[in-house]
Each structure stands twice: as C-alpha cells, then as structure tokens.
Structure 1
C-alpha cells in the first residue's frame, strides 16, 4: 500500500518529488486512465479519491491518486475517518496514494495518526536564510544531482545569491550546466557572479550592512542589486521584514522577556533557536533606533511607487538608515 504524505512550504521541491513519483510509477501511454488529481479540502473529493485508490490500474504501469492541498491532517469528520480506516489498510500495491499540503500535519488527531502509520512522510521545509551551512549543503546536493562542478567558493556565492529559493537554485544550476558543457574544470566564483541572478539573500546582506552602519558596503550592495536587475520594491520588502523582526525582538528583550519561544511567536519566527543569533546581530542597537528605521523604509517604498529612480532613492535612504 504505497502511501505518501508530502508537506511543507517549499512548493518547488515538492513539485519535483511529485514529478519523480509520477515518472517512476505511471506508464506514459496510460497516464490519462491511471492518474487522478483531486482537491483535498472537500470531503466529497476525498471520498472519491478513496474509491479511486481501490480501482486497479488500466493497461501498463501503476495508478496514482493525488489529493492536493488536503486538510485531512488538520480536521476530519467521524464519517470520513471511518472511510479512511476501512480503505487505507486495503490499498493495493499497484496504487500510489499521495496527499500533499503546505500545512504541518496535526499529530494529535486520529486521521493524522492513521495516515502517518502507513505513509512515507516527507517534509519540504524552506531553509531559513540565516542557516548558511544548510543552504550551502543544499547547493552542493543539487549541483551534484545536476552534475555541475563548482569550486567551494563558487558554491558559497551561489548559496548567497539564491538563498532558500529552490526554484531559483534549480534554474541557475541549469544555466551553469549549459555554460560548463563538457568542460571538466569546476566553475569559479567570478563566473557565478557574472551569470547568476541575485535574490532575497543579498538583500538580507544589505540589511546587515545597514545595521552595522557600514555605508561603503551598503552602497556597493545597492549598486550590485540594481545592476543585476533585482526589483527595488522587492529589496525594500526584504529590508522591511528584517528590520521589523529586529525591532520586535529588541523591544521584547528590553521589556525583560526571556522566553525565546514567546519572542519567536511575537516576531513570527518558526524556529526559536534563531533568537540567539538575532540577539548577537542587534546587541549594539536600541529598539528605538530599529523602530525609527521603519518610517524611513516606508518613505522609500512610497517614493519608488511614485516613480523615483531606484538607484538614487535606495542610495539616499540607505545612507539615512545607516545614520539612524
């Protein structure tokens, strides 16, 4: 009874795993008869899926029944639970029952306990931008999978450029694979810098440079971001998110809060362990200084939406932010 529960917010990595599952199990000539994709948030669709999983495949290959964005691991009626209990243990080996959701399954409810008893559960979590070692390891794994040879410094700069965007990592490695061709020599850091687009991770470096009051570095990063066609409003959105997080954490620390879980919840952080690193980043800044940065960023966003030149607007406000 092949059953799979895929969950998490990394939708691209999940879609790659789903494609692999379909390629490994379905016969291309019989896919229209043996592949069913149903909405997983409607009880009628779920019941239909439970009927389909008991149907033998037609022709060659196996059958795949996919319940996408299902809520079955968040809530489940007694009637539906009864159907699950009767069906899941009886699913034939020729049917692959796939359930996917972006939400974390609720381990307390009966339907989740039943499904996880029989299913292969895979989490597709987004790596936090601050987990640089894990990001680098992810680049190494995907590069090896795509047979792209990179020097260690090239791997680090690529991880810095793509951050936790799995789709962007895949796209950039495809580009680098074409560039490398049959050349056996590893691709160098400078080549990666010239070919790869930047993303949120570089904007986070800009936020850190502003926090450190490092005006030369901040202006260099602004220039690099604009030169590489990073949208100015996306840069601002990243800065707002980062300064908002810093401001909330610092405010709670100054108020005497010591429970890292409570601080993480207030700052919308999924991992309380990140608070330790944030404490180190903001130890030289007061909550008032961090809060004062937010109106400046709002002014920057407004000016950009009114048609201001992105480079000039960013440079002016970055200097102002560094002097807060």
Structure 2
C-alpha cells in the first residue's frame, strides 16, 4: 500500500524507478513532496531536482540528465510527467520519443538518479512492453479512489505513520464527520496526532471533539434528521450553517444532490446493481453509496419525487428572489 512506499522513502530506501499512475492527485502529490523532502538537504534541490513534460520534451533528453552525475549531492531526482505513450490513447505526437532507449535504461538504471514517472491516467496499456517493464523494475503506486475497506486501512496506516493508533469506531466516525476526501482526512489526522501525542490512541471522544465537519457531512446529518423525521434538529443544523456564513443556495444545492443520490441508489438497487457497481456508474465514493442506500430504505419512490420537486421549487424561489433567500429551505423543512 501507499504508506509502505512512504515508509521506505523516509528510511532512505529509494528505488531508482517509481511509477505513479491514477487519478487520485493527493496520493501522487504527497509522494512527490515526500521524495523531495527526504532526498535533498539544503541547496541540493536547486542543482539536482528537475521536472519534464513528455508532451514537450523527448525522453532521451530526460535520460541524458539521469545519466549525469549529481552536483553537490548524492542523488538526482527527476520527475517525468504525462507519459501518454504508456496508454492506449491515440495521440498525435508533438515530439518523437526514442522508447527503445527508455527500455534500455530500465534494464540498467543510473545508481545516482531517481526517475519518477507520473502518469495521471485512470488506466495504462498493459499490453505494451514498456508498461510491463516499468511495473517490473519500478516501485508502483496506483493512485486510485479508495473503496471503504481500503479507506479505513489507509486511515489506520496514516495514523501509524504519525506514530499514533486509532480505534476502528473512531475511524468510522471520522469518515462520517470529515468525509472521504484524502486532503481533508490527512489534515484532520495530523491534527489529532498532534493533540494526542506520539504513541497514544485516538478514540471516538477525541474525534467528536476535534474533527471539523465538512459542509457535505453537515448536510448528510441534516438529511439523516429528515429521514428520522426530526425536523426541529434538521432546522438547528441549518441555522448553524447560516451562522457559519454558508450560502443558502450552496446548502440547497448539496441537500438536493443528496436526495437525488438517494433516489438514484434506490432505483439502481431495484434494477439489481450492487453498491460497488452503483459507485462506479455514478462516479461517487462507495462509502457515500452505502450511506445513501441506508437512507433510501426510509422513503417511498413517490416521497422522493415529491421532495425533489419541492427542492426544485425552493431553488426557483431562491434564484428569482421571490422571497428571502434563507426562507425556501426553512419552508421545505416545515412542509416535510
């Protein structure tokens, strides 16, 4: 897993080749930053760090630098971006690449250079010899959206990376409160680790006390109160959001999106789709699908259609200025 690679980097166990591919930008950016931080000291960065765009620069120019001794340091760190030739995409080349030279370099990479191939694509063409060779000789990080099990494992490993432990129920609560965005979760975990101190344990009380609620998670809780028919508590959450200077039109958009998701999950489940399939089809994190599926059981189809129509009316009233922009959501909740 990603944190295993990070641990190796922190212990100075570098691979001469790294292949970072996928669409989860956070994981790729964190790995890049960690490499820069650990490989260099002081002014070494100025002389031995470089980055190339393979849509603009031929690969042989990159390899020439990789085979040049570092200046005032032990390692060169070279980031190679957008290697489109690793995909099945047909693209008119702006530059010509001598890929046979690249294959030869992979067989005997320079011992004083670290070559990081950054491929921000969902898939690579596994049939290509170059792709196979990169995966064989390099450290491979697949930066993809994590499913629920992987996300929980990542949180546990990230906590360990910060020299703390976290209870399983604290992980569940953290996802509910902070959402599934890795940038947000990392920030919250770093804060929790700082609060507890090294070699301590994070429990639900600490999470409840310190973790910031995202707008989406506050809206999820608001919708959960609607599901439970606790409209007074839903209104309280809404008023709290207004006090936090959240725009009513943004709040309405997130509420509408959540109810639309509930309806979509209910319909697709009826058609026989599993939660992982639904997540892929709707391009929504599996954890959100799981939560929406639980909420969907509390509504009949006609109820959801009526609610979505009410929200559309609220959106119209808000955008036309027919009434005070804070009132449409209040009226929606009172009507429920």
TM class by shorter chain equals: 0.7 to 0.9
Q: Check the 8 A contact 2:180/2:285 in 1, yes or no.
A: no
Structure 2 residue aligned with 1:142:
158
State how far apart, in whole Å, the 1-side matches of 2:119 and 2:305 are: 36
Match runs of 1:169-184 below 5 Å: 169-176=185-192
State how far apart, in whole Å, the 2-side matches of 1:167 and 1:219 are: 29
5+ unaligned residues in a row in structure 1: which ranges? none
Match runs of 1:11-50 below 5 Å: 11-40=25-54, 42=55, 44=57, 46-50=59-63
1:67 aligns with 2:83: no
CA 1:80 to 1:269, structure 2 compared with 1: closer, same or farther past 3 Å?
farther
Normalising by structure 2, we get a TM-score of 0.71
Match runs of 1:214-233 below 5 Å: 214-228=230-244, 232-233=248-249
Over residues 216-254 of structure 1, what are the superposed CA-to-partner deviations in whole Å (9 max), with x where a residue is unaligned?
443344345445555555544443333333333433455
Structure 1 residue aligned with 2:180:
164
Over residues 58-93 of structure 1, what are the superposed CA-to-partner deviations in whole Å (9 max), with x where a residue is unaligned?
221211111235434324779554343233223212
State how far apart, in whole Å, the 2-side matches of 1:39 and 1:298 are: 45
State how far apart, in whole Å, the 1-side matches of 2:50 and 2:165 are: 39
5+ unaligned residues in a row in structure 2: which ranges? 1-14
Q: Check the 8 A contact 1:106/1:112 in 2, yes or no.
A: yes
The alpha carbon displacement at 1:30 in A equals 2.0
Deviates more, 1:196-205 or 1:307-316: 307-316
Match runs of 1:1-324 below 5 Å: 2-40=16-54, 42=55, 44=57, 46-74=59-87, 75=89, 80-110=98-128, 111-127=130-146, 131=148, 135=151, 137-147=153-163, 156-176=172-192, 192-193=207-208, 195-199=210-214, 200-228=216-244, 232-253=248-269, 257-260=271-274, 266-269=281-284, 280-301=294-315, 312-320=327-335, 323=336
Q: Secondary structure at the match of 1:44?
A: coil
Q: Check the 8 A contact 2:50/2:79 in 1, yes or no.
A: yes
Q: Check the 8 A contact 1:139/1:158 in 2, yes or no.
A: no
Aligned length in residues: 313
State how far apart, in whole Å, the 1-side matches of 2:86 and 2:79 are: 15
CA 1:263 to 1:96, structure 2 compared with 1: closer, same or farther past 3 Å?
same
Q: Secondary structure at the match of 2:272?
A: coil
The alpha carbon displacement at 1:6 in A equals 1.9
Q: Check the 8 A contact 1:223/1:311 in 2, yes or no.
A: no
Over residues 9-56 of structure 1, what are the superposed CA-to-partner deviations in whole Å (9 max), with x where a residue is unaligned?
44334322222112222343221221111224x153545333332333
Q: Secondary structure at the match of 2:86?
A: coil
CA 1:311 to 1:30, structure 2 compared with 1: closer, same or farther past 3 Å?
same
Q: Secondary structure at the match of 1:121?
A: strand
The alpha carbon displacement at 1:122 in A equals 1.3
The alpha carbon displacement at 1:113 in A equals 2.3
The alpha carbon displacement at 1:187 in A equals 7.0
Over residues 292-312 of structure 1, what are the superposed CA-to-partner deviations in whole Å (9 max), with x where a residue is unaligned?
433433444555567887764
Normalising by structure 1, we get a TM-score of 0.73
